[in-house]
Structure 1
Amino acid sequence: MRMTSNTLRAAALVLGCAALAGPGAATELVYYPLNPSFGGNPLNGTVLLNSAIATNRHTDPDAGRDDIGIESKTPLQSFNDTLERSILSRLAASVSSQILGDDGKFHPGTIQTDSFTITVTDIGNGLLKITTIDKTTGAITEFQVNS
């Protein structure tokens, strides 16, 4: 049987690899968390967040809507909102002064404004029920307080 040069080269390569292979060594596998939410290094948080933002292909269908009140307002809009809150605060103080007696306690009765009906009812055991009805929408708000 005669060996060709390609066969001899292949055999020499196999024998050389076998001779160079030393004893196998294995180590224990150790898990190190990467995400800081699961115990990883807190410095990885920014990298992971930026990676997630960069690969995010989803768009918010409600991006143009403002259901939660976060929007950029002009200075005039901010002023009008502040003015409206101030007027409502004074109105609430005026109404509460009509409901409160000289002793600082609430007294049963009804107060009518253009937009609201406010009723204070004694429900016993030292409790008063305050009912506010919005005349334009019909919305009703009730809560109880100690007299």
Structure 2
Amino acid sequence: MNHTLFRSAVLIALAAAMPCAQATTLVYQPVNPNFGGDAANGVNLLNEANAQNKYTAPSQSSSSSTSESSLDQFNQELQQAILSRVASSVTNSIVGTDGTLKPGTISTGNFTIVVSAISGGNLQITTTDNTTGASSTFIISNGQ
């Protein structure tokens, strides 16, 4: 009986020594200053993000436009001007006097352009690179 009494006394003593549990309201406090957190956290968060960032920007190649010679730049501009004139010439041959596109086929040295009428008054334009066989197609309204 003494043994049981001793156990009970120890349990009562332990229960009395334990503080009472109290519940409080949990309040969310954001850390990131972009979402209302303390502004002093911004530098620390940026440093942590930079330390974890494994991305490296691709290096500039030596063939970038900033290192091209004046002659190379001139040749590129000349090539673009000539291609623009060829495109204008092709456009003039497929556009009618009323401004609408005319179905037909136009061939240049390297390209074939096919304008064909499809349903709903739309036109399908297919451009094919004759050297590679690659082609591109788009559909437009003929405006009728």
**TM-score of Structure 1 vs Structure 2, range by shorter chain:** 0.5 to 0.7
Q: Which runs of 4+ in 1 moved over 4 A?
A: 25-29, 41-47, 77-83
* Structural mapping, 1:118-137, within 5 Å: 118-137=113-132
**If each structure's helix is expressed as a fraction of its own residues, which one has the higher value?**
2
1:96 aligns with 2:74: no
Task: Give the aligned partner of residue 100 of structure 2.
Answer: 105
1:74 aligns with 2:67: yes
Shift in CA distance, 131/57, structure 1 to aligned 2, threshold 3 Å: closer
Shift in CA distance, 125/57, structure 1 to aligned 2, threshold 3 Å: closer
How many residues end up aligned between the 2 structures?
A: 119
Consecutive unaligned residues of structure 2, counting only runs of 5 or more, are 1-21
Partner SS for 1:31: coil
Q: CA deviation at 1:101?
A: 1.1
Partner SS for 2:118: strand
Q: Distance in 1 between matches of 2:85 and 2:38?
A: 49
Q: State the TM-score, normalizing by the size of structure 2.
A: 0.60
Consecutive unaligned residues of structure 1, counting only runs of 5 or more, are 1-24
Q: Distance in 2 between matches of 1:118 and 1:74?
A: 36
Q: CA deviation at 1:92?
A: 1.7
Partner SS for 1:73: helix
CA RMSD of aligned residues (A): 3.8
Equivalent in 32, 46, 51 of residue 48 of structure 2: 51
Could you tell me the percent identity over the aligned residues? Answer: 44
Q: Distance in 2 between matches of 1:40 and 1:80?
A: 55
Asked if 1 retains the 8 angstrom alpha-carbon contact of 2:31 and 2:38, the reply is no
Partner SS for 1:125: helix
Asked if 1 retains the 8 angstrom alpha-carbon contact of 2:106 and 2:112, the reply is yes
Shift in CA distance, 78/27, structure 1 to aligned 2, threshold 3 Å: farther
